[in-house]
Amino acid sequence: MADIRVRFVDYRDEQAADQPFPVEVGINNLETVGPVGWGPVVCPDSGAVNNGHMTDVTLTIRNSSGSTVETLEEPLCVPVNRPSLAGQANATAEFQPSLPPGEYTVTAEVAVRGNNGTDTSQPQSLTVSEGTDSLPGGDADRGFWQDPGPDGNDGSDPFAAIPGVTATEAKVGGGLLVLLMLLWVAAPYASLGASLAGGGR
């Protein structure tokens, strides 16, 4: 049996609903000598001694009741262990699942072709939420004042959020407010000008 194991299953444990998100599965090959032979059970190579084993990596996602809701599979060549690979996975499989809101568990299995061994990771939790404000793929990265609300306001019109007031009415009211403020600021100067004009007669 080949000594090949799942090293890690990596993803953010909270995701946005119905949006693909990345999952990486790291696989380790603890053998230091490649398998001898040819065919689909070994990595493609030009020599009799190959670089590693061909495997099939399966990502399985189950809902809170234990039912499988998504299964993804990827073929992966896992090279033999070398000093340059110390402290890291020998190979990594990448998946892009998309799920509705709910609570899930995620497991990964690596199966060496030719019935040459399998290994399965421990289940890991995953939360998928309808809210996208702070999740990957949502609108959180659009910047301050750039997250349109249900009325389409992007934040540039602060009056658009007033209940019962249309955008046009709000803008007219805002204009009048600015005009009144200007008249209020200019009033002392107008009085001073009138006094100076009266004193010069």
The pLDDT score that the predictor gives to residue 27 is: 94
The pLDDT score that the predictor gives to residue 114 is: 86
3-state helix, strand, coil in the chain (%, to 5): 20, 35, 45
Rounded to an integer, what distance in angstroms lies between the CA atom of residue 81 and that of residue 109?
Answer: 19
Mean pLDDT of each 10-residue bin along the chain, 201 residues long: 91 93 94 76 70 93 96 94 74 96 97 91 95 47 30 43 48 63 63 54 46
**66: its two tokens:** 């234990």
Residue 159 neighbours by CB under 8 Å, 6+ apart = 165, 167, 170, 171, 173, 174
Going from the C-alpha of 145 to that of each of 125, 140, 142, 168, the distances in angstroms are 34, 11, 8, 20
Main-chain dihedrals φ then ψ at residue 72, nearest 5 degrees: -125, 140
The pLDDT score that the predictor gives to residue 189 is: 57
b vs e for 108-124, b when ≥16 Cβ sit within 10 Å of the residue's Cβ?
A: bbbbbbeebbbbebeeb
Is 0.75 surpassed by the pTM of this model?
no
The pLDDT score that the predictor gives to residue 139 is: 35
Rounded to an integer, what distance in angstroms lies between the CA atom of residue 20 and that of residue 197?
Answer: 75
The pLDDT score that the predictor gives to residue 136 is: 52
